[in-house]
Amino acid sequence: MNNSQAAIDDGVYEIDANLQKSNKDLIQIIKTNQHATLLTEIKFSSPSLGKIRTLADPVSIANQMILGGSKALSVLTQPHLFNGSPEYFMKVRQAVDVPMLMKDIMIDKVQIDAARKIGADFMLVIQSLFDQGFLKDIDEFIDYGHKQGLEILLEVHTKQEFENAQKTKADIIGINNRNLDTLEIDIHTTKKVLQEDKKTRPILSESGIETPEDIQYLKKCGADAFLIGSSIMKSDNIEEQVRKLVNAF
């Protein structure tokens, strides 16, 4: 959360733009897509892996992902540790018409305002920040996002967080297979969280997804869509890597 605060303090989210979001509905795509629905992520670095890919044109990467069959994009806007930027997001937004997630830990309404200005379709909210008391009133935060025309991806890691998330008006619930405290990944997290629980909205499984077999496993666990970043960004052939994962089923 400190890195998100640093980005706010640095004026990263002082945006002078008014870009339009996509006219495509990701939730409808998830419901009707016969193949694996991928939300592919453009990120050049991460706290767990360090440098993932040399900085390159994000528009070129986005186009390769879409040619491979990706139905939505996540773009890191966080400069600290991720080498992201709202500028990258805006360049991609102006070049493609697919639903886009502004990927940063949302802790302040100034970020939500920025997400609207740069044409985001979705914003990320993390359940644990509210459960642990770092932020207050998740319902009001989500409501503010909705009023700005954004849909909400609400991320959880534990069964309790998932149960709490189900009580909100979030549009999609993401299950992060990565423990944000330890940065360790366990792809079985999705199964543990969904076990014996009814889904009330689409489920996005996130982190640690590398192969078609991973996607097939997660689908059996109850995941409806898949957020994949590092394994694609590390690939020598982004388009082909995305195509291989999309055709997992």
The residues, any chain, with a CB within 8 Å of residue 104's CB and separated by 6 or more, are: 4, 7, 76, 77, 78, 84, 111, 124
Do residues 185 and 218 touch, judged by C-beta distance below 8 A?
no
Neighbours of 141 (CB within 10 A): 21
- Nearest by Cα to 127 from 156, 166, 159, 160: 156
Q: What is the pLDDT along the chain (249 residues), one digit of tens a residue?
A: 678 888 888 889 999 999 999 999 999 999 999 999 999 999 987 777 778 787 779 999 999 999 999 999 999 998 887 888 999 999 999 999 999 999 999 999 999 999 999 999 999 999 999 999 999 999 999 999 999 999 999 999 999 999 999 999 999 999 999 999 999 999 999 999 999 888 899 999 999 999 999 999 999 999 999 999 999 999 999 999 999 999 999
Distance spanning both ends of the chain, measured CA to CA: 36
The residues, any chain, with a CB within 8 Å of residue 162's CB and separated by 6 or more, are: 127, 156, 173, 175, 193, 194, 197
Helix/strand/coil for 118: coil
Query: Which CATH code, of 2.60.40.10, 3.40.50.1010, 3.50.50.60, 3.20.20.70, is assigned to 2-246?
Result: 3.20.20.70
Neighbours of 137 (CB within 10 A): 10
**CA distance linking residue 236 with residue 249, whole number of Å:** 23
This prediction has a pTM of 0.95
Residue with structure tokens 């939500």? 112
DSSP annotation of 13 reads T
